[in-house]
Structure formats: structure tokens, C-alpha cells
Structure 1
């Protein structure tokens, strides 16, 4: 436990503390020190891709699917898989936690982090496309950071495995196993609060439905094609309804967001560091850009140019943070302070929804949480496929064994109180980010070259 906690603190704790005017300070974790400079680097090198090429991202997302290999998925389907895993608990309770700790100004820094993260997401997704390979088990393609890390370290040595790639794959499997427990516990808690359903019943249904899907060969993408658009669409529409009902409060909400993001009051009170870092950390945690998760889906896409998938995944960061996380922020910030005072986490969000829409709001948020968490579980097992194959070879035994392990952890998480095993998710994604970032900057030149080629083709 002591060793595990030391690793956790090394990854997520304040590695560097900078003093601020007014007596406050801002703590920078190792992952912030890795991901923010990388985001700035790729944003500059791509000539501000998130803004400059946003119309192109929309065009690619809406274009008609091109013909693809048998059993392969399209670029849009890969975007749906990555959106399923990005759009989990972090978009709901995580945003509430960021605003509770850092105030409304944290929302602004989430937006800034998303813009920078879009460029990083482009680079890693494009690399995943460049180094994808045929998948003999599931059909179509597979790949991800383990595969381009392998290529980077074995070009000269010719070895069959790369230690860094192996460590990335192991970290990913640890992360996704830990997330499985958090998912089911969050769902069982929400359903108990909304419907008084005992956690055992909720968990059994969740595990049974998940098992039917993940233990079949290729049901994952077909299910997510239906669930994710419905999930995100309903959440967005309900938020629009709430905004319309509270339109008179919008100017004050945006005033709070921008004034607290740069506010002299926060700086003088020594709380500016909390505003800044809670927004930055939540943005990084939510969109996962740089962690190497989404490239596991991006590599599976059968698309006519690697940069197109990179642009789709950059758009995925926009959907996650600018759209879905902002929806949660608006639901919370448009509710009176006395309604949410003293509450935290899911209870706070349910109270805000109850204020806006009554009992329907409480029921709705519990149902949407179920969809968010369910789709996240299906998506992370899609991510696990290429990493299990990289570690253990192409065989159904190892693929099925990991799925069963994840289902067991999903069941345990729905019934158990908090355990340190849950922190495996945070430790796993932290380690994944470190191993991914080792090669992302030096290999990023290939992604930038692919972008230039693509833009040249589009002009022609």
C-alpha cells in the first residue's frame, strides 16, 4: 500500500509548487508538466489546428462512409468508441468536483485545456493509423501506442518486443480493470439514490447486459453506434432545455466563469491556483488526450488518410470537454447555491437536476449515468483488445480471460465500499501517459508530415 501510494502521489501529486501574488500557490503534477507543454507544442506546430481546421473536422464527421475492409470500422465509428470512453464519470461527477473545488473559473481552464488537448489527440491518433496492422482475430485493423512505441524502439534492434511498449500495454489493462469497479459503484449509488434499488440488483443487471455484449465477437461497435449518439444527444437536449428555462441567468453565469478564471479576488485570496489547476486537471482527465487510450480505437478505423482519423479524434476532445462537460457545468451553475450547498459528487448533480426538472431530473440523470458508464465499460474492453494481443499473442483464450476479469471487477465494484484497487485506474492512466509521451514528441513529426500531405491533397 505504501509503495502504491508513493507511485500515485508521484503521478498526481504536486511535483512543483509555484508561488502566486497574494500568498497563494499553484501545484503542478508530473502529468500536467508533461501534457500541457505537449499540447502547446502540437498546437503551435499544427498552426492552431483546433481552430484552423475545425470546419474540416465537421466535414469529415458528416461525410458519407467510404468502403472498408470486411469487419473493419469506419473513422466515424472509431470516434464513437473513443467518445464512449471519454464520456464517463469525469463528464458528470468530475466536473462537479472541479467546480466545487475551483469555482466557476475552472470551466474556462477546462476549455483551454481541451483546445490544447485536441492537437495532442490529433498527433497520437494519426500515429496509431500510420502503424496499424491487420487484426487476425476480430478482422479489420488494430494498433495503438503499444504498436507505434514498439516500432520506435525496435527499428534498429529488430527485437520482437519493446519493454516500453509492454509496460504501456500492462498499464492500460490495469487502468481499464480499475475503471470497471468505479463504473459499477457509481451506477449502483445513483440508482439507489434515485429509485432505492439495492446495489446488488443494479449490479447484476449491469454485469449481465455487459457480458452478453462483450463476450460476443463483434457486438461492441454495433451497440455503441446506437447508445452513444442517444446518450450524448439526450444529455445535450436536456441541457438546452435547462438553459432556455434559465436564460436570464446566463449572463451572470458567464460573467462568473470569466471573472473567476482571471479574477483579482481569487488571486488576492490565494485561491487562483485552485481555480486554474482544478480546471486543467479535470480537462486532462476527461478528454484523455495524450494518455494513449483513444488511439487504440483510432487504429481500428479503415480510412483513406491517417490525418483524417487524427482530425476526427481531435474533434472527439471538443465533443467531450467543450460540449458534454460544459453541459454538466451549466446544469450546476444555473442552480441556486442553497440547493447544492453541502452536497458533493452525484448527490450534488442530482440535486441540481431536481431543482431544474423535479423528480424527472433526478431519474433522468441516473439513467444517463447508466448509459455513460455502460458505454465506457464496453469501450475500454475494445481498447484492451490490441494490448492483450501485443502482450499474449493472437488467441481467444487471453482475450476472453481479460473480459471475464473485467466483468468480475465490474461486479465487485457495484457492491464494495471504496478500496485502493479503484486507484489502479488513476495509476494506470498516469503510467500510460508517461510511456506514451516518451515517443509522442519524437514521432510527432510523422503526424505533422501526414497533416501537411493531407492539406495539400485537399487543396488539389
Structure 2
């Protein structure tokens, strides 16, 4: 009889291989065709929108901008999955898995566009001045009139991101710290570092959504730039190996060759799974951050979140893959962040391992912030009682402390199952609601062709007005 961890792993493989991966691909292709490849066609527009500045509200409150919402979602997207997850995909699926990560990001960006556009349309006002909240739970209730489905999604995402994923991030920080500071290791190391993480996260999450946005606006660009610079340095040092790496990626993806025991099926499965885990396209998590932005048209945040998928996979995940593959490692020996750390040290020396520890801390800690916000947005959907939100915050901090002390193997497998359930619930909502996102995109493009900055005035032919709260009617005087 297998262990609980192996049982969950087998269940996970069956669930993803036979149900989730085909559904995710089909949904992404459907949205790609219906939006006329919006994720590539409007790529320049994405960069324009993400840089837009919002003026302060009449009461002087600084609203959450499109870039701030992008930062919150990137904080959750860009985490240890970009370092440990890509390395794991390489060991299980070979270099070909990188190609399928890229393919998943390209197709999945259309799903990210649809879900975040819907989140903007169906958002509601937050408790803090100038804030909004929303996400799948809200468009399930307001768009589909299915409160029960929204409640189910809210519970699943709160447990998955608020507790499980935050425990994983804390465990990864402690793991890399243990390697870098081996001279200081002792029975006190994990509890002390875990307590430090609890205190840092507690200061931020009890400070509200504005503090979350302002912290991630600084942290996410800093961590991305540092990691990209490290990756570019490694690639330049091994530039002669780059043609071989690209050949291995393409060859492994289509079965022209097998590397480290990876087959085509394994490359596809692990590339898509790790790609979805990393960029979260169609998962239903990033719309919670997208709904927090104050923009003039729902499509703007849809475009911003689609850009986030490319930022995560095409840039950050690719950097990790090139760091590892240009050093030509034995992929059968190591797995996870340890593989990335070894590759860095092989090329740059021992100091690079310490730098990676700092990068992992920034990546994982910012992910904790974004993960917490997703849970908060959904707790507020389930109940307006402040005591419940405060209890949730305390439980999140306990999960972080427990993750710093515990083993993460079974938790990762359970997290994959929970993530799959999230995706199923979310996709079952955005597929029927997608037609509304298509109408919003048509409205946005019509205004852009006229030379204006698109401003949305709600019209009943786009969506049922009963579910739309925060957008002024087109019949109202501006």
C-alpha cells in the first residue's frame, strides 16, 4: 500500500492528465479564437495601459492603479514556482517541458484576459475608501446568479492560497536559508526565521490593501530585475551552449530526442502543469487582484493581466530554464530550487547561491502578500464580519509559521489538487460568461479606433445591469 503522498500524487496525475489539461487547452484556444488573438494583437496596448497613472480621488486617497494591481497579481504569480517549479518540470519532463510552458502561456493569456475583464465588470466597492474587490466568486454570483458556486470557489481559493501556498513559500525560504547559512544551522534556526516571517507579513496584512499594493509595487520590480540580471549573466558566461539548449528544448518538445529520460508526454504534462501553476492563467486567482484596480474600462485590466502571464512565463520562467540548461546538468540528480542554486554556483561561484537565497526570499515573501490578498477578497465575499477576517489573518500567520517548520512534499501534491479544483470551478464560469468579455473588447476597440481613451458606460446589451455595481450607466449624465 502506498503512502498518503504517493496516493495524492497518483490522483493528481490522473486528474490533470485526463480532465484538467484538455479543458484548459480547449478553453484557451476558444478564447484565443473569439478574441482574434487578443494576447498578441494588442500586446503594444498592454504596455500603454499598464503605465497609465490615476489621479487622486476627490478625498485625496490614492486609488489602486492598473500597475499596482498588476504588481499584486505578479507578487502571487512570481514565486518559488519560477525557481523550484521550473526546475522540477525539467527533471520530470526534460528540456521539452519549457516549450510547452511557452505554449501554455501564449494560449492561456487569452483566458487571463477574459477572467480579469469579467472581474473588473462585476467588482464591488471595498471597505477602505477608493478600493474595490472582486474576482471569480463575484462574477459567479453577479453574472451567473450562482451564489453557491461563488461560495465554493471562495472557500477553495482561501484554503489553497491563504494557507497551503503560503506554507509552501515559507518552507522554501527556510530551505534556501538553511543552505546559505549552514554555519548557523541549529534547532533554533527554523523557529526564529519562521517567527521573523510572521512578524513581517503581519505588519503588511494588517495594514490593508493600499499597503499591500505599495509594498508589491516596489518589491516585484526589484526582485524581477535582480533575478533577470543573474540569469543574463549565466547565459552570457555560457553563450556557446545556447544553440544546444534551444535545440534540446524544441527537440524534447516534439520527441526528436529524449533528454534526462523525458518523453513527449511527460514534457507536455509537466510543462503545462508547471506553466499553469506559475502564470495562473485560467486558474481564477489573478482576477482577485485585477478587480482591485481603478481603471476607466474593464478591458484595460484584462490586458494588464494578460501581460502578467507573459511576464511570468516568457521572462522569469525562461530565465530559470536557461540558468539550469546552459550549465548542462545531470537532471536526474537534483530537483527544485537546489538544482537552480547548483547551476548558479557552477557558473558564478558560491556567492551566487547566497544571492539566490535573497531572490527566493523576495519572490516567496511577495507571493505570500499576493496569496493573502486573494484570501481576503474571498473572505469578504463570504461574510462581512470583521472578526472572521481577523481570524483569517491569524490563521494565515500560523500557516506561515507551520510551513517554516514542516515538510512540504504532501502539501505540494494537495495544493496541485486544490489548484485543479479551482480551475475547474472558474473555467465553468468564464466559458459561458466569455461572450460578455468579447462585447467589452469590441466596445474598447471601437473607442480606440475613434482616437479616444476608452471609458466604459454600462449598457444592458452588454450585460445584465442587476449584476453591475461600479460602472455608471450610459444613460446617466457625466
Alignment TM-score, normalising by the size of structure 1: 0.90
Question: Equivalent residue of 2:427, what SS?
Answer: helix
Equivalent residues of 2:248, 2:257 under 8 A apart: no
Equivalent residues of 2:204, 2:211 under 8 A apart: yes
Is 2:202 the counterpart of 1:211?
yes
Is 2:26 the counterpart of 1:37?
yes
Question: Equivalent residue of 1:14, what SS?
Answer: helix
Is 2:323 the counterpart of 1:331?
yes
Equivalent residues of 2:157, 2:422 under 8 A apart: yes
Question: Equivalent residue of 1:265, what SS?
Answer: coil
Aligned ranges for residues 35-114 of structure 1 at < 5 Å? 35-67=24-56, 70=61, 72-114=63-105
- Partners of 1:348 and 1:386 lie apart in 2 by 35
- Partners of 1:390 and 1:304 lie apart in 2 by 24
State the Cα deviation string for residues 423-451 of structure 1 (Å, max 9, x = none). Answer: 44333322221111111111001111111
Aligned to 1:371: 362
Seen in structure 2, the aligned counterparts of structure 1 residues 10 and 284 have a Cα distance that, compared at 3 Å, is same
Q: Which moved more, 1:299-308 or 1:188-197?
A: 188-197
Q: Which moved more, 1:118-127 or 1:32-41?
A: 32-41
Aligned to 1:384: 375
Aligned to 1:438: 428
- Partners of 2:149 and 2:114 lie apart in 1 by 19
Aligned to 1:403: 393
Gaps in structure 1 of 5+ consecutive residues = 16-26, 155-160
Q: Which of the numbers 180, 184, 191 marks the counterpart of 2:177? A: 191
- Partners of 1:352 and 1:266 lie apart in 2 by 21
Question: Equivalent residue of 1:343, what SS?
Answer: coil
Equivalent residues of 1:68, 1:302 under 8 A apart: no
Equivalent residues of 2:54, 2:63 under 8 A apart: no
State the Cα deviation string for residues 313-349 of structure 1 (Å, max 9, x = none). Answer: 00000001000000100100011325x6612212211
- Partners of 1:126 and 1:10 lie apart in 2 by 35
> 1:100 Cα deviation (Å)?
1.0
> 1:286 Cα deviation (Å)?
1.0
Equivalent residues of 1:68, 1:303 under 8 A apart: no
> 1:10 Cα deviation (Å)?
8.9
- Partners of 1:44 and 1:228 lie apart in 2 by 32
Q: Which of the numbers 260, 271, 295 marks the counterpart of 1:303? A: 295
Aligned to 1:178: 164
Query: RMSD across aligned C-alpha pairs, in angstroms?
Result: 2.3
- Partners of 2:160 and 2:180 lie apart in 1 by 29
Equivalent residues of 1:178, 1:423 under 8 A apart: no
Is 2:14 the counterpart of 1:14?
yes
- Partners of 1:240 and 1:297 lie apart in 2 by 30
> 1:53 Cα deviation (Å)?
1.1
Aligned ranges for residues 280-299 of structure 1 at < 5 Å? 280-299=272-291
State the Cα deviation string for residues 22-49 of structure 1 (Å, max 9, x = none). Answer: xxxxx82422122111001111111112
Q: Which of the numbers 426, 436, 447 marks the counterpart of 2:437? A: 447
Seen in structure 2, the aligned counterparts of structure 1 residues 260 and 13 have a Cα distance that, compared at 3 Å, is closer
Equivalent residues of 2:329, 2:343 under 8 A apart: no
State the Cα deviation string for residues 73-128 of structure 1 (Å, max 9, x = none). Answer: 01111001000100111111100011111111111110000001100000000000
Aligned to 1:149: 140
Question: Equivalent residue of 2:63, what SS?
Answer: coil
State the Cα deviation string for residues 244-279 of structure 1 (Å, max 9, x = none). Answer: 222222111111111221233349x99211122111
Which portions of structure 1, spanning 4 or more consecutive aligned residues, are displaced by more than 6 angstroms? 4-7
Seen in structure 2, the aligned counterparts of structure 1 residues 10 and 120 have a Cα distance that, compared at 3 Å, is farther
> 1:61 Cα deviation (Å)?
2.1
- Partners of 2:229 and 2:19 lie apart in 1 by 37
Alignment TM-score, normalising by the size of structure 2: 0.87
- Partners of 1:401 and 1:91 lie apart in 2 by 31
- Partners of 1:14 and 1:419 lie apart in 2 by 18
Question: Equivalent residue of 1:35, what SS?
Answer: helix
Question: Equivalent residue of 2:143, what SS?
Answer: helix
- Partners of 1:247 and 1:292 lie apart in 2 by 38
Q: Which moved more, 1:295-304 or 1:52-61?
A: 52-61
> 1:302 Cα deviation (Å)?
0.2
Aligned ranges for residues 201-350 of structure 1 at < 5 Å? 201-217=192-208, 218-266=210-258, 271-337=263-329, 342-350=333-341
Equivalent residues of 2:170, 2:404 under 8 A apart: yes
Q: Which of the numbers 145, 149, 152 marks the counterpart of 1:164? A: 149
Seen in structure 2, the aligned counterparts of structure 1 residues 314 and 68 have a Cα distance that, compared at 3 Å, is farther
- Partners of 2:440 and 2:129 lie apart in 1 by 27
> 1:301 Cα deviation (Å)?
0.5
Equivalent residues of 1:79, 1:312 under 8 A apart: yes
Aligned to 2:122: 131
> 1:212 Cα deviation (Å)?
1.4
